[in-house]
Chains A and B, each alone.
Chain A
Amino acid sequence: MPPFDPDSMDSVRGRDWRLSLLFVAMAIVLLALPAGVQEGIGAGLRSTVLRPFIAVQEAVTNTRIRARELAELQDQLDAAVALLASQRTLADENARLRGLLELRERTGPGFVSASVIRSGTRGSQSMFLLDVGSRDGVAVNDPVVAAGGLLGLVREVGAGSAVAIDWTHPDFEVSAMTVDGEAFGMVSPRAGDFREEDRLLLAGIPYYTSLDEGVEVVTSGRGSIYPRGILVGIVADLARTDAGWGRAYWLRPAVRPAEVDHVLVITGERGTPAADLLEYWVELPDTLAADTVPGADAMPGVDTLPVADTVLPPDSVVADTAGGGR
Protein backbone atom coordinates (compact mmCIF):
# COMPACT_ATOMS: atom_id res chain seq x y z
CA MET A 1 0.00 0.00 0.00
CA PRO A 2 1.45 3.42 -0.96
CA PRO A 3 2.15 5.75 1.94
CA PHE A 4 -0.45 8.45 2.70
CA ASP A 5 0.60 11.72 1.11
CA PRO A 6 -1.24 14.75 2.52
CA ASP A 7 0.16 17.07 -0.20
CA SER A 8 -1.24 14.83 -2.94
CA MET A 9 -4.65 14.73 -1.23
CA ASP A 10 -4.67 18.53 -0.96
CA SER A 11 -3.84 18.78 -4.64
CA VAL A 12 -6.71 16.45 -5.62
CA ARG A 13 -9.09 18.32 -3.34
CA GLY A 14 -8.03 21.67 -4.83
CA ARG A 15 -8.53 20.35 -8.35
CA ASP A 16 -12.00 19.09 -7.40
CA TRP A 17 -12.99 22.46 -6.01
CA ARG A 18 -11.76 24.27 -9.14
CA LEU A 19 -13.61 21.81 -11.38
CA SER A 20 -16.80 22.16 -9.34
CA LEU A 21 -16.66 25.94 -9.43
CA LEU A 22 -16.02 25.81 -13.16
CA PHE A 23 -19.25 23.86 -13.73
CA VAL A 24 -21.20 26.16 -11.42
CA ALA A 25 -19.87 29.12 -13.41
CA MET A 26 -20.79 27.42 -16.68
CA ALA A 27 -24.34 26.85 -15.43
CA ILE A 28 -24.63 30.51 -14.42
CA VAL A 29 -23.37 31.54 -17.86
CA LEU A 30 -26.07 29.30 -19.40
CA LEU A 31 -28.71 31.24 -17.51
CA ALA A 32 -27.35 34.54 -18.78
CA LEU A 33 -26.93 33.55 -22.43
CA PRO A 34 -29.05 35.33 -25.06
CA ALA A 35 -32.33 33.53 -25.83
CA GLY A 36 -31.17 32.66 -29.35
CA VAL A 37 -28.08 30.86 -28.11
CA GLN A 38 -30.10 29.03 -25.43
CA GLU A 39 -32.58 27.92 -28.06
CA GLY A 40 -29.73 26.70 -30.26
CA ILE A 41 -28.26 24.60 -27.46
CA GLY A 42 -31.67 23.19 -26.56
CA ALA A 43 -32.48 22.37 -30.18
CA GLY A 44 -29.09 20.69 -30.59
CA LEU A 45 -29.67 18.45 -27.59
CA ARG A 46 -33.21 17.59 -28.64
CA SER A 47 -32.11 16.59 -32.11
CA THR A 48 -29.21 14.41 -30.90
CA VAL A 49 -29.00 12.93 -27.39
CA LEU A 50 -32.70 13.31 -26.61
CA ARG A 51 -33.98 12.40 -30.08
CA PRO A 52 -34.69 8.72 -29.19
CA PHE A 53 -36.92 9.75 -26.27
CA ILE A 54 -38.83 12.23 -28.43
CA ALA A 55 -39.24 9.56 -31.11
CA VAL A 56 -40.74 7.24 -28.50
CA GLN A 57 -43.33 9.85 -27.54
CA GLU A 58 -44.14 10.56 -31.18
CA ALA A 59 -44.79 6.87 -31.70
CA VAL A 60 -46.83 6.55 -28.49
CA THR A 61 -48.91 9.66 -29.27
CA ASN A 62 -49.57 8.63 -32.86
CA THR A 63 -50.59 5.14 -31.81
CA ARG A 64 -52.94 6.52 -29.17
CA ILE A 65 -54.52 8.97 -31.60
CA ARG A 66 -54.91 6.35 -34.31
CA ALA A 67 -56.48 3.85 -31.96
CA ARG A 68 -58.96 6.38 -30.64
CA GLU A 69 -59.93 8.04 -33.86
CA LEU A 70 -59.97 5.22 -36.37
CA ALA A 71 -63.71 4.62 -36.26
CA GLU A 72 -64.42 8.33 -35.99
CA LEU A 73 -62.23 9.09 -39.00
CA GLN A 74 -63.97 6.45 -41.07
CA ASP A 75 -67.32 8.12 -40.37
CA GLN A 76 -65.91 11.54 -41.17
CA LEU A 77 -64.39 10.26 -44.39
CA ASP A 78 -67.71 8.83 -45.52
CA ALA A 79 -69.46 12.11 -44.70
CA ALA A 80 -66.76 14.16 -46.44
CA VAL A 81 -66.95 12.07 -49.61
CA ALA A 82 -70.72 12.51 -49.72
CA LEU A 83 -70.41 16.27 -49.12
CA LEU A 84 -67.70 16.63 -51.76
CA ALA A 85 -69.78 14.83 -54.33
CA SER A 86 -72.79 17.03 -53.66
CA GLN A 87 -70.84 20.30 -53.71
CA ARG A 88 -68.64 19.74 -56.72
CA THR A 89 -71.05 21.64 -58.96
CA LEU A 90 -71.07 24.60 -56.56
CA ALA A 91 -67.26 24.74 -56.50
CA ASP A 92 -67.06 24.63 -60.30
CA GLU A 93 -69.63 27.37 -60.56
CA ASN A 94 -67.77 29.45 -57.98
CA ALA A 95 -64.50 29.13 -59.88
CA ARG A 96 -66.21 30.08 -63.16
CA LEU A 97 -67.79 33.16 -61.57
CA ARG A 98 -64.46 34.22 -60.07
CA GLY A 99 -62.96 34.02 -63.51
CA LEU A 100 -65.75 36.12 -64.99
CA LEU A 101 -65.38 38.77 -62.28
CA GLU A 102 -61.55 38.63 -62.47
CA LEU A 103 -61.30 38.02 -58.73
CA ARG A 104 -58.32 36.31 -57.23
CA GLU A 105 -58.57 32.93 -55.56
CA ARG A 106 -59.52 33.04 -51.92
CA THR A 107 -56.41 33.06 -49.79
CA GLY A 108 -57.65 31.29 -46.74
CA PRO A 109 -55.55 30.04 -43.88
CA GLY A 110 -53.25 27.07 -44.28
CA PHE A 111 -53.58 24.50 -41.55
CA VAL A 112 -50.88 22.00 -40.76
CA SER A 113 -51.89 19.18 -38.44
CA ALA A 114 -49.42 18.14 -35.75
CA SER A 115 -49.07 15.90 -32.75
CA VAL A 116 -48.30 17.47 -29.38
CA ILE A 117 -45.31 16.12 -27.48
CA ARG A 118 -44.89 17.14 -23.85
CA SER A 119 -41.62 16.45 -22.06
CA GLY A 120 -42.99 16.38 -18.52
CA THR A 121 -39.62 17.45 -17.13
CA ARG A 122 -39.02 20.13 -14.51
CA GLY A 123 -39.30 23.62 -15.98
CA SER A 124 -41.00 22.45 -19.16
CA GLN A 125 -44.46 23.60 -18.09
CA SER A 126 -46.25 25.80 -20.62
CA MET A 127 -44.25 24.48 -23.57
CA PHE A 128 -44.65 21.56 -25.92
CA LEU A 129 -43.05 20.11 -29.00
CA LEU A 130 -44.72 19.67 -32.39
CA ASP A 131 -43.78 17.02 -34.92
CA VAL A 132 -43.88 19.52 -37.80
CA GLY A 133 -41.35 22.17 -38.76
CA SER A 134 -40.15 24.51 -41.49
CA ARG A 135 -40.35 21.63 -44.01
CA ASP A 136 -44.11 21.67 -43.48
CA GLY A 137 -44.37 25.45 -43.81
CA VAL A 138 -44.42 26.18 -40.08
CA ALA A 139 -42.76 29.42 -38.98
CA VAL A 140 -42.03 31.23 -35.73
CA ASN A 141 -45.14 32.95 -34.28
CA ASP A 142 -47.62 30.74 -36.14
CA PRO A 143 -50.74 30.30 -33.98
CA VAL A 144 -51.52 26.81 -32.67
CA VAL A 145 -55.18 25.88 -32.34
CA ALA A 146 -57.11 22.86 -31.16
CA ALA A 147 -60.68 21.81 -31.77
CA GLY A 148 -61.80 23.98 -28.84
CA GLY A 149 -59.96 27.16 -29.84
CA LEU A 150 -56.63 28.91 -29.32
CA LEU A 151 -53.88 26.91 -27.61
CA GLY A 152 -50.71 28.99 -28.11
CA LEU A 153 -48.07 29.87 -30.65
CA VAL A 154 -44.85 28.53 -32.14
CA ARG A 155 -41.65 29.83 -30.55
CA GLU A 156 -38.84 27.90 -32.26
CA VAL A 157 -38.81 26.03 -35.54
CA GLY A 158 -36.51 23.30 -36.75
CA ALA A 159 -36.65 21.43 -40.04
CA GLY A 160 -38.97 18.71 -38.82
CA SER A 161 -40.04 19.85 -35.36
CA ALA A 162 -41.06 22.98 -33.51
CA VAL A 163 -41.30 24.26 -29.95
CA ALA A 164 -44.48 26.07 -28.95
CA ILE A 165 -45.86 27.72 -25.83
CA ASP A 166 -49.43 27.38 -24.63
CA TRP A 167 -51.58 30.14 -23.14
CA THR A 168 -50.32 29.47 -19.59
CA HIS A 169 -46.87 30.83 -20.49
CA PRO A 170 -46.13 34.26 -18.96
CA ASP A 171 -45.17 35.62 -22.40
CA PHE A 172 -48.54 34.76 -23.90
CA GLU A 173 -50.76 37.74 -24.73
CA VAL A 174 -53.42 38.21 -27.38
CA SER A 175 -55.70 41.02 -28.49
CA ALA A 176 -59.27 39.81 -28.20
CA MET A 177 -62.84 40.93 -28.64
CA THR A 178 -66.33 39.72 -27.94
CA VAL A 179 -67.99 37.93 -30.82
CA ASP A 180 -70.28 40.89 -31.54
CA GLY A 181 -67.26 43.20 -31.73
CA GLU A 182 -68.60 45.48 -28.98
CA ALA A 183 -65.64 45.18 -26.61
CA PHE A 184 -61.93 44.82 -27.22
CA GLY A 185 -59.21 43.99 -24.69
CA MET A 186 -55.99 42.12 -24.03
CA VAL A 187 -56.01 38.53 -22.79
CA SER A 188 -53.12 37.21 -20.72
CA PRO A 189 -52.65 34.25 -18.36
CA ARG A 190 -52.80 34.30 -14.57
CA ALA A 191 -51.23 31.39 -12.72
CA GLY A 192 -53.28 29.60 -10.09
CA ASP A 193 -51.94 27.83 -7.03
CA PHE A 194 -52.16 24.59 -8.99
CA ARG A 195 -51.70 24.19 -12.73
CA GLU A 196 -55.35 23.24 -13.12
CA GLU A 197 -56.30 26.65 -11.72
CA ASP A 198 -54.49 28.68 -14.39
CA ARG A 199 -56.91 31.15 -15.94
CA LEU A 200 -57.08 33.85 -18.56
CA LEU A 201 -57.74 37.49 -17.78
CA LEU A 202 -59.43 39.80 -20.29
CA ALA A 203 -58.31 43.32 -19.35
CA GLY A 204 -58.85 46.77 -20.83
CA ILE A 205 -62.61 46.53 -21.27
CA PRO A 206 -64.20 50.00 -21.03
CA TYR A 207 -65.80 50.67 -17.64
CA TYR A 208 -69.28 51.23 -19.05
CA THR A 209 -69.20 48.02 -21.11
CA SER A 210 -70.51 45.16 -19.06
CA LEU A 211 -70.00 41.59 -20.26
CA ASP A 212 -72.38 38.81 -19.31
CA GLU A 213 -71.23 35.42 -18.18
CA GLY A 214 -70.98 33.01 -21.09
CA VAL A 215 -70.03 35.58 -23.75
CA GLU A 216 -67.51 34.10 -26.19
CA VAL A 217 -64.23 35.96 -26.62
CA VAL A 218 -62.24 35.57 -29.83
CA THR A 219 -58.99 36.91 -31.24
CA SER A 220 -59.48 40.39 -32.73
CA GLY A 221 -56.92 40.11 -35.52
CA ARG A 222 -55.06 43.17 -34.26
CA GLY A 223 -51.31 42.79 -34.18
CA SER A 224 -49.27 40.60 -36.44
CA ILE A 225 -49.70 37.11 -35.06
CA TYR A 226 -53.24 35.86 -34.52
CA PRO A 227 -55.88 36.01 -37.25
CA ARG A 228 -59.32 37.24 -36.28
CA GLY A 229 -61.93 34.87 -34.95
CA ILE A 230 -60.15 32.13 -32.99
CA LEU A 231 -62.04 31.28 -29.81
CA VAL A 232 -59.93 32.22 -26.77
CA GLY A 233 -62.34 31.64 -23.92
CA ILE A 234 -65.71 32.34 -22.38
CA VAL A 235 -66.42 35.11 -19.87
CA ALA A 236 -66.71 33.60 -16.38
CA ASP A 237 -67.00 36.55 -14.01
CA LEU A 238 -65.79 40.05 -13.22
CA ALA A 239 -62.20 40.09 -11.95
CA ARG A 240 -61.82 43.76 -11.06
CA THR A 241 -62.74 47.32 -11.95
CA ASP A 242 -59.94 49.82 -12.44
CA ALA A 243 -60.77 53.13 -10.75
CA GLY A 244 -63.80 53.87 -12.85
CA TRP A 245 -62.18 53.60 -16.27
CA GLY A 246 -61.88 49.91 -17.05
CA ARG A 247 -62.90 46.41 -16.19
CA ALA A 248 -61.20 43.03 -16.31
CA TYR A 249 -62.95 39.68 -16.62
CA TRP A 250 -61.89 36.13 -15.88
CA LEU A 251 -62.23 33.82 -18.87
CA ARG A 252 -62.80 30.09 -18.92
CA PRO A 253 -60.14 29.00 -21.43
CA ALA A 254 -61.43 27.44 -24.62
CA VAL A 255 -58.68 24.82 -24.48
CA ARG A 256 -57.11 22.99 -21.55
CA PRO A 257 -53.47 22.44 -22.61
CA ALA A 258 -53.06 19.18 -20.70
CA GLU A 259 -55.94 17.58 -22.59
CA VAL A 260 -54.63 18.31 -26.08
CA ASP A 261 -52.64 15.77 -28.07
CA HIS A 262 -53.46 16.84 -31.61
CA VAL A 263 -53.42 20.42 -32.94
CA LEU A 264 -53.46 22.54 -36.07
CA VAL A 265 -50.80 25.14 -36.83
CA ILE A 266 -52.15 28.09 -38.80
CA THR A 267 -49.50 28.86 -41.36
CA GLY A 268 -51.30 31.32 -43.62
CA GLU A 269 -51.10 30.76 -47.34
CA ARG A 270 -48.68 32.17 -49.87
CA GLY A 271 -47.50 34.77 -47.39
CA THR A 272 -50.88 36.39 -46.93
CA PRO A 273 -52.64 36.79 -43.60
CA ALA A 274 -55.12 34.16 -42.60
CA ALA A 275 -58.63 35.48 -43.07
CA ASP A 276 -61.42 35.70 -40.53
CA LEU A 277 -61.76 32.35 -38.80
CA LEU A 278 -64.84 33.17 -36.78
CA GLU A 279 -67.03 30.58 -38.44
CA TYR A 280 -64.66 27.76 -37.51
CA TRP A 281 -65.26 28.14 -33.78
CA VAL A 282 -68.29 30.27 -33.13
CA GLU A 283 -71.88 29.81 -34.21
CA LEU A 284 -72.70 33.23 -35.58
CA PRO A 285 -76.05 34.90 -35.01
CA ASP A 286 -78.04 35.14 -38.24
CA THR A 287 -77.53 38.89 -38.46
CA LEU A 288 -73.74 38.60 -38.27
CA ALA A 289 -73.65 35.74 -40.75
CA ALA A 290 -75.71 37.75 -43.20
CA ASP A 291 -73.41 40.77 -42.72
CA THR A 292 -70.33 38.68 -43.35
CA VAL A 293 -71.68 36.98 -46.41
CA PRO A 294 -74.14 39.21 -48.24
CA GLY A 295 -76.90 37.23 -49.77
CA ALA A 296 -76.16 34.11 -47.79
CA ASP A 297 -79.62 34.05 -46.25
CA ALA A 298 -81.17 34.27 -49.67
CA MET A 299 -79.62 31.02 -50.83
CA PRO A 300 -81.95 28.12 -50.36
CA GLY A 301 -80.64 25.26 -48.26
CA VAL A 302 -77.47 27.09 -47.16
CA ASP A 303 -77.39 28.41 -43.58
CA THR A 304 -73.80 29.56 -43.50
CA LEU A 305 -71.55 29.54 -46.51
CA PRO A 306 -68.28 27.65 -46.21
CA VAL A 307 -65.34 30.04 -46.01
CA ALA A 308 -63.75 28.70 -49.17
CA ASP A 309 -66.79 29.59 -51.20
CA THR A 310 -67.27 33.19 -50.13
CA VAL A 311 -66.55 35.95 -52.60
CA LEU A 312 -63.69 38.13 -51.44
CA PRO A 313 -62.97 41.76 -52.28
CA PRO A 314 -60.50 42.48 -55.07
CA ASP A 315 -56.75 42.33 -54.51
CA SER A 316 -56.38 46.00 -53.66
CA VAL A 317 -58.68 45.69 -50.65
CA VAL A 318 -57.02 42.49 -49.54
CA ALA A 319 -53.66 44.21 -49.75
CA ASP A 320 -54.91 47.07 -47.57
CA THR A 321 -56.16 44.77 -44.86
CA ALA A 322 -52.96 42.75 -45.02
CA GLY A 323 -51.17 45.63 -43.31
CA GLY A 324 -52.57 44.57 -39.97
CA GLY A 325 -51.89 40.92 -40.55
CA ARG A 326 -48.93 38.66 -40.90
Chain B
Amino acid sequence: MNQRTLYRTILVALPVLHFLLHVGFGLDRAAPDLLTVGILLLAREVRMGPAAAIGFGLGLLEDAFSIRAFGANALSCTILGIFGSRSRDLFVGETFVFLVSYLFLGTWVRGLLHWLIIGPELRPDGLVTLLVHGPVDAGYAALVGIGLLLATGAWRSEPSA
Protein backbone atom coordinates (compact mmCIF):
# COMPACT_ATOMS: atom_id res chain seq x y z
CA MET B 1 0.00 0.00 0.00
CA ASN B 2 1.57 3.29 -1.01
CA GLN B 3 1.63 6.23 1.35
CA ARG B 4 -1.15 8.14 -0.34
CA THR B 5 -3.54 5.17 -0.17
CA LEU B 6 -2.57 4.55 3.44
CA TYR B 7 -3.18 8.20 4.26
CA ARG B 8 -6.66 8.14 2.71
CA THR B 9 -7.49 4.84 4.41
CA ILE B 10 -6.62 6.39 7.77
CA LEU B 11 -8.77 9.39 6.99
CA VAL B 12 -11.75 7.17 6.20
CA ALA B 13 -11.09 5.14 9.36
CA LEU B 14 -11.15 8.23 11.59
CA PRO B 15 -14.96 8.72 11.54
CA VAL B 16 -15.45 4.98 12.08
CA LEU B 17 -13.12 5.15 15.08
CA HIS B 18 -14.99 8.23 16.31
CA PHE B 19 -18.34 6.44 16.37
CA LEU B 20 -16.78 3.32 17.86
CA LEU B 21 -15.30 5.31 20.76
CA HIS B 22 -18.24 7.64 21.34
CA VAL B 23 -21.22 5.43 20.54
CA GLY B 24 -19.74 1.93 20.89
CA PHE B 25 -17.85 2.53 24.12
CA GLY B 26 -19.86 5.56 25.28
CA LEU B 27 -16.72 7.55 26.13
CA ASP B 28 -18.29 10.97 25.64
CA ARG B 29 -15.65 13.73 26.01
CA ALA B 30 -13.02 11.27 27.18
CA ALA B 31 -12.60 10.33 23.52
CA PRO B 32 -11.36 12.96 21.04
CA ASP B 33 -13.54 14.39 18.27
CA LEU B 34 -12.05 12.29 15.48
CA LEU B 35 -15.05 12.97 13.26
CA THR B 36 -14.02 16.60 12.93
CA VAL B 37 -10.38 15.60 12.42
CA GLY B 38 -11.50 13.20 9.67
CA ILE B 39 -13.62 15.86 7.94
CA LEU B 40 -10.84 18.45 8.14
CA LEU B 41 -8.22 16.13 6.65
CA LEU B 42 -10.55 14.58 4.05
CA ALA B 43 -11.64 18.05 2.95
CA ARG B 44 -8.05 18.84 1.93
CA GLU B 45 -7.99 15.75 -0.28
CA VAL B 46 -11.03 16.57 -2.40
CA ARG B 47 -12.69 19.51 -4.15
CA MET B 48 -15.14 21.80 -2.41
CA GLY B 49 -18.37 20.10 -3.56
CA PRO B 50 -17.41 16.59 -2.42
CA ALA B 51 -15.97 18.06 0.80
CA ALA B 52 -19.37 19.62 1.54
CA ALA B 53 -21.04 16.28 0.81
CA ILE B 54 -18.68 14.44 3.18
CA GLY B 55 -19.31 16.99 5.91
CA PHE B 56 -23.06 16.80 5.42
CA GLY B 57 -23.13 13.00 5.50
CA LEU B 58 -20.93 12.61 8.59
CA GLY B 59 -22.67 15.45 10.42
CA LEU B 60 -26.04 13.85 9.69
CA LEU B 61 -24.82 10.61 11.26
CA GLU B 62 -23.95 12.48 14.43
CA ASP B 63 -27.33 14.21 14.34
CA ALA B 64 -28.99 10.80 14.59
CA PHE B 65 -28.18 10.98 18.32
CA SER B 66 -29.34 14.54 18.77
CA ILE B 67 -32.94 15.37 19.54
CA ARG B 68 -32.14 18.83 20.81
CA ALA B 69 -31.13 20.41 17.49
CA PHE B 70 -31.38 17.95 14.64
CA GLY B 71 -29.41 19.24 11.66
CA ALA B 72 -26.98 21.39 13.65
CA ASN B 73 -24.15 18.90 13.23
CA ALA B 74 -24.93 18.44 9.53
CA LEU B 75 -24.80 22.19 8.91
CA SER B 76 -21.66 22.82 10.97
CA CYS B 77 -19.81 19.89 9.35
CA THR B 78 -20.89 20.97 5.84
CA ILE B 79 -19.52 24.45 6.42
CA LEU B 80 -16.37 22.94 7.93
CA GLY B 81 -15.89 20.73 4.87
CA ILE B 82 -16.21 23.73 2.55
CA PHE B 83 -13.70 25.80 4.51
CA GLY B 84 -11.36 22.82 4.86
CA SER B 85 -11.32 22.35 1.11
CA ARG B 86 -10.87 26.06 0.46
CA SER B 87 -7.91 26.12 2.87
CA ARG B 88 -5.84 24.34 0.21
CA ASP B 89 -5.90 27.52 -1.85
CA LEU B 90 -4.50 29.49 1.06
CA PHE B 91 -2.06 27.06 2.70
CA VAL B 92 0.07 24.67 0.66
CA GLY B 93 2.07 21.97 2.38
CA GLU B 94 1.36 19.81 5.40
CA THR B 95 3.98 20.86 7.91
CA PHE B 96 3.62 19.71 11.50
CA VAL B 97 2.92 23.19 12.80
CA PHE B 98 0.36 23.88 10.08
CA LEU B 99 -1.52 20.61 10.65
CA VAL B 100 -1.67 21.03 14.43
CA SER B 101 -2.91 24.61 14.03
CA TYR B 102 -5.37 23.60 11.30
CA LEU B 103 -6.86 20.75 13.32
CA PHE B 104 -6.97 22.80 16.52
CA LEU B 105 -8.61 25.79 14.89
CA GLY B 106 -10.95 23.63 12.78
CA THR B 107 -12.21 21.65 15.78
CA TRP B 108 -12.70 24.79 17.81
CA VAL B 109 -14.56 26.51 14.94
CA ARG B 110 -16.78 23.46 14.56
CA GLY B 111 -17.73 23.78 18.23
CA LEU B 112 -18.40 27.47 17.73
CA LEU B 113 -20.60 26.82 14.67
CA HIS B 114 -22.59 24.15 16.50
CA TRP B 115 -23.02 26.47 19.49
CA LEU B 116 -24.30 29.23 17.24
CA ILE B 117 -26.62 27.02 15.22
CA ILE B 118 -28.45 25.24 18.07
CA GLY B 119 -30.18 28.45 19.10
CA PRO B 120 -30.40 30.43 22.33
CA GLU B 121 -32.85 28.07 24.09
CA LEU B 122 -30.51 25.09 23.97
CA ARG B 123 -27.22 26.98 23.99
CA PRO B 124 -25.03 26.23 27.01
CA ASP B 125 -22.98 28.94 28.66
CA GLY B 126 -20.73 30.44 25.97
CA LEU B 127 -17.80 31.23 28.22
CA VAL B 128 -17.42 27.65 29.40
CA THR B 129 -18.31 26.00 26.09
CA LEU B 130 -16.12 28.13 23.86
CA LEU B 131 -13.27 29.19 26.12
CA VAL B 132 -12.92 26.18 28.43
CA HIS B 133 -14.31 23.07 26.76
CA GLY B 134 -13.60 24.30 23.22
CA PRO B 135 -9.81 24.72 23.39
CA VAL B 136 -9.36 21.59 25.52
CA ASP B 137 -11.38 19.45 23.10
CA ALA B 138 -9.68 21.04 20.08
CA GLY B 139 -6.19 20.48 21.46
CA TYR B 140 -7.03 16.90 22.40
CA ALA B 141 -8.45 16.14 18.93
CA ALA B 142 -5.51 17.77 17.14
CA LEU B 143 -2.89 15.89 19.15
CA VAL B 144 -4.62 12.52 18.82
CA GLY B 145 -5.19 13.09 15.09
CA ILE B 146 -1.55 13.96 14.46
CA GLY B 147 -0.44 11.13 16.73
CA LEU B 148 -2.49 8.63 14.73
CA LEU B 149 -0.98 9.82 11.45
CA LEU B 150 2.53 9.55 12.87
CA ALA B 151 1.95 6.19 14.54
CA THR B 152 0.50 4.57 11.43
CA GLY B 153 3.19 5.98 9.14
CA ALA B 154 0.57 7.82 7.09
CA TRP B 155 2.21 11.19 7.75
CA ARG B 156 3.24 13.10 4.68
CA SER B 157 4.45 16.61 4.14
CA GLU B 158 3.17 17.20 0.59
CA PRO B 159 -0.48 17.89 -0.31
CA SER B 160 -2.25 15.70 -2.85
CA ALA B 161 -2.51 16.85 -6.47
Contact = CB atoms under 8 A, between A and B. Distances in A.
Q: Does A associate with B in a complex? A: yes
A30 B20 contact: no
B68 A169 contact: yes
Contact of A53 (B24, B50, B59, B124): B24
Contacts of A4: none
A123 B48 contact: no
Interface stretch (B2-10, B71-79, B145-153): B71-79
B71 A31 contact: yes
Contact of A120 (B26, B61, B73, B118): B26
Contact of A121 (B22, B56, B69, B78): B22
Contacts of B114: 122-123
A119 B26 contact: yes
Contact of A16 (B49, B56, B60): B49
A212 to B, nearest CB: 31
Interface in A120-173: 120-127, 129, 155-156, 163, 165, 169-170
B94 interface: no
B23 interface: yes
B57 to A, nearest CB: 9
Contacts of A120: 21-23, 26-29, 31
B15 to A, nearest CB: 11
Interface residues of B, number: 53
A191 interface: yes
A25 B23 CA distance: 28
Contacts of B20: 53, 56
A119 B71 contact: no
A12 B67 contact: no
B62 A56 contact: no
Contacts of A29: 71
Contacts of A28: 71, 75
A57 B63 contact: no
Nearest to B51: A20
A13 to B, nearest CB: 8
Contacts of A129: 65
A54 B23 contact: yes
Nearest to A119: B65
A30 B63 contact: yes
A31 B78 contact: no
Interface in B61-108: 61-75, 78-79, 82
A275 to B, nearest CB: 30
Contacts of B67: 38-39, 42, 127, 155-156, 163, 165
A141 to B, nearest CB: 14
B82 A20 contact: yes
Contact of A191 (B72, B75, B124): B124
A150 B70 CA distance: 26
A155 B23 CA distance: 19
B121 A124 contact: no
Contacts of A299: none
Given A120-B28, A169-B68, A194-B128, A31 B48 contact: no
Given A12-B47, A33-B71, A191-B125, A123 B63 contact: yes
Nearest to A30: B71
Given A16-B47, A16-B48, A27-B78, A123 B25 contact: no
A118 interface: yes
Interface string A23-54: 11011111111000011011101100110011
Contacts of A26: 56, 74
Given A57-B24, A122-B66, A194-B128, 20 more contacts: A16-B47, A19-B52, A19-B53, A23-B56, A27-B75, A29-B71, A30-B60, A31-B75, A43-B64, A50-B64, A53-B24, A56-B20, A57-B26, A118-B28, A120-B21, A121-B22, A123-B68, A123-B69, A123-B72, A123-B73
Interface of A: 12, 15-20, 22-24, 26-33, 38-39, 41-43, 45-46, 49-50, 53-54, 56-57, 60-61, 117-127, 129, 155-156, 163, 165, 169-170, 191, 193-194
The 9 nearest A-B residue pairs measured at CB = A19-B49, A30-B71, A56-B24, A31-B71, A123-B66, A119-B65, A120-B28, A27-B75, A45-B64
